[in-house]
Each structure stands twice: as C-alpha cells, then as structure tokens.
Amino acid sequence: MDPKLREVATVACVVLLVAAAPYGGAIGQETSISTVEQPPTLDCDPSLSDRCAKRRLQEGRKLFDQETFGGNGRTCRTCHSKKTGTFSPEEALARLAEDPNDPLFLHDGLDDGVAGTTRITEHATVRIEIPLPPDVILADDSTRRSVVLNRGTPTTMNTPALDRFLMYDTREPNLEQQAFNAIHGHAQNTREPTALELDLIKEFQQTDSRFFSSEALRDFANGGPPPQLPAGATESEKRGRAMFDNVPFDGATTRGLCNTCHSGPMLNQFAPGNPFGGPPGGRRAGIGIEERNLLGNPVYSFVVTNPDGSTVVINTPDPGAMLNNPVPAPPPGSGFPTPPRAFFANLFKIPTLWGVKDTAPYFHDNSAKTLEDVAEHYAFFFLTSPSTSGFVFTAQDQADMVAFVKLLR
C-alpha cells in the first residue's frame, strides 16, 4: 500500500475508535447510552416513588433539625429533642452548663423574655403569647390584646401522625400552621417558610421513627392494628391495669377509673358514661391544675362576654382552651351543642399515655416532674372534685397506677 494511503487509513481508524469509546464499544457493535438519573424534585408524590419519599424525608429532617429560617438560631429540635420530643429541667440545666449561648436560652426561654434562666432550668417552661379573642378582655387592662402564659413544650412523641389535637390548649388546626406559628413565635424568623417546607416538616414528623414510642405505634399510624394494653406481670401492675378496664367507674374501687378519661386506642379520650360529663370521644378536660397552681404562676382575671351580652369573670393562671378562636366544637356526632366560651376555662388536651414514661415533665405547666407527682395530683383531684365525690386514691393506688403506665411503650 502506498505509504500516504496507509497513513490516512491509520488516522481514520483512530478517529473512529475514539468516537466509539464513549458508547462502550467499537463501531458495528451493539451499544447503549447510559444517563445519570436526576434526583426527584421535592414536590414529587411520595406515594408513587420510594426515591421521592426518601428525598422528601431527608429534606424534612434537615428542616426540622437544622433550619433556622434566618431567626434567632432555634430550630424545631431546639425544644423537641430526638429522644423525648420535649425537654426537661435536667436537660435545660445540662445545656446551660455546656453552652450558655444555646438558643434555648433566648427570647421566650428567659424569665421575663429579656434575662434570667431560673424558670426554664427549674420547670422547663417557656413564655407563650396568646392573643385574646374579641369577646375576652383582661379586667385590669381592657386595652391589652394578648396574654403571656408559662407552659411546657408538648412532646412530639406519638403526636404528629396519631393525634389531630395539637398543643396543650388544642389551638392549632394542623401541623403546617403549628410549624408556621412556632417558626414565627419561637424562632423569630426573618425568612418566611414556604408551603412546601411546611409540608415537608409535617411529613417528616408523621413518618420518621423518632416520633413514635414503639414500632406498634408506628404500624398503627400506617394502618396497622391498634396497640393493645399490656396485661402486667406483677400484682401492682395488674391492679394498675384494672384502672384502664373499659367499664364504668363505680366510685367504690379503682377499676375503670383511669379509663374514664384515657380510653380509645391512644388512651386520650372520654369514655361513655364517665363521671365528669365529658362527651364520649371528647379530648379536653380540667383536672384542677390551675386551681392548685403549684408553681405559683401569675393569676389573671379574664372577663368573658357571652352572646347575650352578659359577662363572666374567670380568675386563673392559664385558661387553656377558653382562648381558642373560634370556640372549640364538640366531637362530631356527639349531639352536644357548642358550649359558651367560659365553659372551656381551664380545659386542656387529654394526652396520650403511650410512651409516657419517657416524656417528663407532665401537665401543661410542667408542675409534675415525675409520674409519681402525676399520681399524687390525681389523688388531690379525686378527693376534691365534685364528680368523684371525695374518692380516696391511696398511696398504694398511686404506686399501682405508676407501675402500669410505665409499661405503656
């Protein structure tokens, strides 16, 4: 072959081989073009794709744990710990010792909103500012349109996916609105959360394992069977178990006593025929926390105007659901009319008891630091409440109740 022709042919072969290389084979061979699959967009439908669900879960976790929205440094996790869904006085003390600049100790975490960490380290409460409805004024200042109350941080354990009643006073209509108000009120944001971000935060709370006290509760949230009460092994646990039997409380024994307000699969609603007059399935109750006021919180005088123009004065350190706007409606299908606003004074959400041993402190004001404190308060309540006619909840009864509820995983 002519040397020049051989040189041209050689160059041509090299060009062809180089051109063929990206396609994984030589010219004439069957080839495939591989493409890099792009991650799904965050507005994808998680029910249609596992990759989409995973992507949204990762972003929701980031928003919950890390995003400050340009605010004071707080995130959702600042107050809702991974282990308990809330924080205790012991945790607050430890965090203060480790880092006095922890964003927990800012704003509404301070004694007067400006300085001081005594309240938060002793009781783990924060200052909550609640607007007054149009038909409520303060007796000593009729121009004031909000009130500041000291409350604990409600646990996120078993709540986002299994409880539509949010916050101690049940004021928030859904998780998106709750997150939005927390980002504004607690984190003091300078960047507005988008609707998608709020949806991702909600979805993360409804699916991630940290928000469930057990796999049984997580399974229930996903359509599985309701959790079952344990039988108890010791005699004390068995006596405590009987307090949750689905039978009417007769006032003579403790059988069925706790079931009156802690019935249903989540142990958080009135049972039919309860002695307190609560509608079956009702979720709000008053158990004398405000009347006792163990922590000495400031007492306000609220003047409530009824629809007929008459007024009623409510003296309390925290009126609970009375300040919800609109007034809470009765359970669907209960046949109960909507009560007047003053009826809801000192009524708070009945909480679930699943996983309760890990979510101290207790009650909306964190006045019970242990389950033993909870039992002692119920002894006070049963003795003084007109509905239970001076029923004596003995020290042994209290120990039995605590022994059993510690089994509720």
Mind listing the pLDDT tens digit for each residue in 196-224? 999 999 999 999 999 999 999 999 999 99
Tokens (6 digits) for 219? 């399974």
d(CA 117, CA 211): 28
pLDDT at position 50: 94
**What is the per-residue pLDDT across 307-324, written as a single tens digit (0 to 9) for each?**
999 999 999 999 999 999
| pLDDT band of 35, cuts 50, 70, 90 | low
pLDDT at 391 over 50: yes
Q: Does residue 306 contact residue 270 with C-beta atoms inside 8 Å?
A: no
Domain range summary for the chain, segments of one domain joined by +: 1-34, 50-227+265-369
Q: Is residue 28 over pLDDT 50?
A: no
**Tell me, what DSSP letter sits at residue 208?**
S
Q: Is the pLDDT of residue 288 over 70?
A: yes
Q: Which helix (H) or strand (E) holds 149?
A: strand 146-151
Write down the pLDDT at residue 331: 84
Average pLDDT over residues 6-28: 40
CA angle 235–384–149, rounded 5-degree value: 100
Backbone angles phi, psi at 136, to 5 degrees: -130, 135
- Judged against a pLDDT cut of 70, whether residue 14 lies above it is answered with no
Q: Are 328 and 344 in contact (CB under 8 A)?
A: yes
Burial class (CB in 10 A: 0-12, 13-18, 19+), 337: exposed
Q: Whole-angstrom distance between the N-terminal and C-terminal Cα of the chain? A: 87
Is the pLDDT confidence value at 8 over 80?
no
- Give the pLDDT confidence score for residue 277 in this predicted structure: 87
Residue-wise pLDDT for 49-90, tens only, equals 999 999 999 999 999 999 999 999 999 999 999 999 999 999
Please give the mean pLDDT across all residues of the chain: 92
Q: What is the structure's pLDDT at 6? A: 47
Looking at the predicted structure, is the pLDDT value of residue 376 above 70?
yes
* Global pTM value: 0.89
Is the pLDDT at 25 greater than 50, yes or no?
no
In percent, how much of the chain has pLDDT > 70? Answer: 91
The band of 165, judged by pLDDT with boundaries at 50, 70 and 90, is: very high
- Largest Cα separation within the chain, whole Å, is 118
Instruction: Give the model's confidence band at 36: pLDDT under 50 very low, under 70 low, under 90 confident, else very high.
Output: low
> What is the pLDDT confidence band of residue 30, given thresholds at 50, 70 and 90?
very low
Question: Is the per-residue pLDDT at 172 higher than 90?
Answer: yes
Rg of the chain over all Cα atoms, to the nearest angstrom? 29
Task: Tell me the C-alpha to C-alpha distance, in Å, between residue 239 and each of 246, 381, 405.
Answer: 14, 20, 11
- pLDDT of 299 reads 98
Residue burial 138-158, b: 16+ Cβ < 10 Å; e: rest: beeeeeeeebebbbbbbbbbb
CA-CA distances (angstroms) from residue 112 to 89, 109, 149, 286? 18, 8, 11, 27
336 torsion bin: left (phi>0), alpha (psi -120 to 50), beta (else): beta
| Burial 363-372, CB ≥16 within 10 A → b, else e | bbbbbbbebe
More confident residue, 380 or 22: 380
**Residue 332 pLDDT:** 84
Residue 17: CB partners within 8 Å, gap ≥ 6? 26
pLDDT at position 4 is 45
Q: Where are the alpha helices (DSSP H) in 214-310?
A: 215-221, 235-242, 289-292
Q: Please report, as a single letter, which amino acid is at residue 378.
A: Y
